[in-house]
Chain A
Amino acid sequence: VTGTRAWRVALLVAAVAVVVAAPLVLSSYLLTLLTLVFIAGLLAASVNFLAGQAGLVSMGQAGIAAAAAYGVAYATVRGHDVVIQVGLALVLTLVTSLVYALMTMRSRGIVFLMITLALGMIVFGLAYRLASLTGGQNGLTGIDRPALIAENGTFYLVCAAAFALGTLVLRHVSRSPFGLAVRGVRESESRMSSLGYRVAAIKFGAVLIAGLVAGVAGILAVWQTEFISPSIAQFSRSALAVVMVILGGTGTLLGPLVGAGVVIGAEFWLSTYVERWATVLGVVFILVVLFARRGIVGELEARSHRPRRSAGPAQGLETVPRTTNAGAASPAARDDPDDQLA
């Protein structure tokens, strides 16, 4: 296609117009659904950044989002204004992300996955048991959105904007020298460390950045439901974010949004017909991992062979296992001193 750039600008303008016009056209039910898609897409974008750039699959990302959400909820229930609410949420996001980053910076592959999973469960346990602060199983009620964004249409636009901003920031980071270093770590830790890079510090930074994005998703999530309970930190939330990323296309820009749209759309549509929605989700997940690992967006991009893909930031999930566990065939994998599993 000639004039690719003009096409892309036109597409972007059209997309923005559609998103902005949506509140005028859609029913409030569909609008709420779309809002959920953008919030879930933001959390998935955070998972996607780690999976696509660093090759690290986080199974506990909902834990960070939940920490932020509880920050908002606690501050609101205590009668503080929106600045304190967001401030507390950001502090909790930062603390939780720091813990995640410190615990995982020397791991990778399945060990990274196990640690993030355990951390996510610990956040859930805290939310469940620390009843004096979190309300325990009953959660906290009476959380109102700030007056400025209380109206559903406005809140929808805020969520859409947050997703767009988060995606742009992550894209910018991915293309920065730091992002390149992150990708270098994914490809070969031993090579990066022999080049003088501090591998642990790079992973630390990547987890921290992803954590901050997840925190924003958490703030929006609690404003969306205007209620919080430990289920926001549930394992299935983190797993669902990973499902969205893989379904949409790991490492692609819009994959998380597409994945979130499919999962949430299917959830609401199917759950009116099928009672065992979680079973359907599990089966879909298995099928996607087995047969369509590039995901929807990844598959579309691969078919249209666009030249800009060569400069594009990341590859699908399927490159991850090859580099983390190249079997016994790859000497790089076997000589790697950081391989905790060897």
Chain B
Amino acid sequence: MRIVNLAHGAFFLLGGYAGIVTMGLTGQLIVAILVGVAVAAVAGLVTERVLLQRIRGQELPEVLVTVGVALVVTDLCLAAFGGNPRSIQPPAPVSGAFDLGPVTYPAYRLFLIGLAVAVFLGLYLVQHHSKLGALIRAGVDDREIAGAMGIDIDRLFTIMFVVGAGLAGLAGVAAAGALTIRPGADTDILLFGLVVVIVGGLGSVPGAAIGAVLIGIIDAFAKVWIPELATFAVFLPMAIVLVLRPRGLLGRPA
């Protein structure tokens, strides 16, 4: 939908904190995930309806507004939850290690991999094999004609934005179990998000998946082998892709 939401990192943070608080109250990971997704989605809904809808179709102002939202949300998170890192202790059955024969692997991380694959498949199926997906693709390709055909573009874009924000919240709760949620985690995750999208290609779900795996592996090895230059290692694939293929690996041609 041609919006770069730079508040995504902030929604990630918000969802993560909401999940952590819920986890502390209920002890149920499922409830924590649902609350985290819901909180981030509501934040997305407010951002979209109150702010972005006024400037629909103007790319740069849209991005700049999301920057403002990011500043506000991260600062309020800092006010509410303080500067100390927080995390979730994964409950059974996703706690502990999982025996995979030759290696053991943390069960929670397996759960995360499953979750990511499920989300990826879900998004891909919706985008390419559902009526909603067809409407979205039509809306992105040609806003005016799609509108003239009777598609409610505004509602469509609101749905997209809210789903995006909800997924950021989901990522936040999920990350709270494996990493920590703290001030600054938002920009860390945003950097990965941006690089993954630049490498994978704007608007492509498979591109994002390939980019994510690629960047994730490079980052993981770089952190062990060249810790001082780990951030730089993320830069290299981005640079190579931008020079050789500016639209990204699976980005659509103009």
Contact = CB atoms under 8 A, between A and B. Distances in A.
Interface of A: 57, 59, 99, 102-103, 106-107, 109-111, 113-115, 117-119, 121-122, 124-126, 128-132, 235-236, 239, 242, 246, 275-276, 278-279, 281-283, 285-286, 289-290, 293, 317-318, 320-322, 324-325, 327-329, 336-342
Given A106-B242, A126-B231, A340-B247, A279 B68 contact: no
A321 B72 contact: no
B216 to A, nearest CB: 16
Contact of A336 (B67, B75, B76, B254): B254
B59 A117 contact: no
Contacts of A246: 64
A320 to B, nearest CB: 5
Interface residues of B, number: 53
Q: Identify which of B55, B60, B195, B198 gathers the most chain A CB atoms within 10 Å of its CB.
A: B60
B243 A102 contact: yes
Contacts of B203: 341
A276 B76 CA distance: 8
A165 B57 CA distance: 37
A290 B55 contact: yes
Interface in B223-241: 227-232, 234-235, 238-239
A242 B231 contact: no
B72 A283 contact: yes
A239 B195 CA distance: 18
B198 A129 contact: no
A164 B175 CA distance: 48
A113 B63 contact: yes
B79 A276 contact: yes
Contacts of A111: 198, 202
B6 interface: yes
A57 B60 contact: yes
A118 B195 contact: yes
Contacts of A107: 242, 246
A286 B69 contact: yes
Contact of A126 (B55, B227, B229): B229
Contacts of B51: 286, 290
A132 B144 CA distance: 55
A107 B247 CA distance: 9
B227 A321 contact: no
Interface string B50-75: 01001101111101110111111011
Interface string B137-155: 0000011110000000000
A285 B73 CA distance: 13
Interface string B152-194: 0000000000000000000000000000000000010011001
B210 interface: no
28 contacts: A107-B246, A109-B59, A110-B63, A118-B198, A122-B235, A126-B231, A129-B229, A130-B228, A242-B64, A276-B79, A279-B71, A279-B79, A282-B70, A282-B75, A283-B72, A285-B64, A285-B67, A285-B71, A289-B61, A290-B54, A290-B55, A318-B61, A324-B60, A325-B58, A327-B144, A340-B246, A341-B203, A342-B254
A285 B72 CA distance: 10
B64 A117 contact: no
Contact of B71 (A128, A282, A338): A282
Nearest to B230: A129
Contact of B143 (A103, A131, A327, A341): A327
Question: Which 9 residue pairs are nearest across A and B when measured between Cβ atoms?
Answer: A125-B231, A282-B71, A282-B72, A321-B58, A286-B68, A278-B75, A285-B68, A328-B144, A121-B191
Interface string B31-57: 000000000000000000001001101
Interface in B71-93: 71-72, 74-76, 79
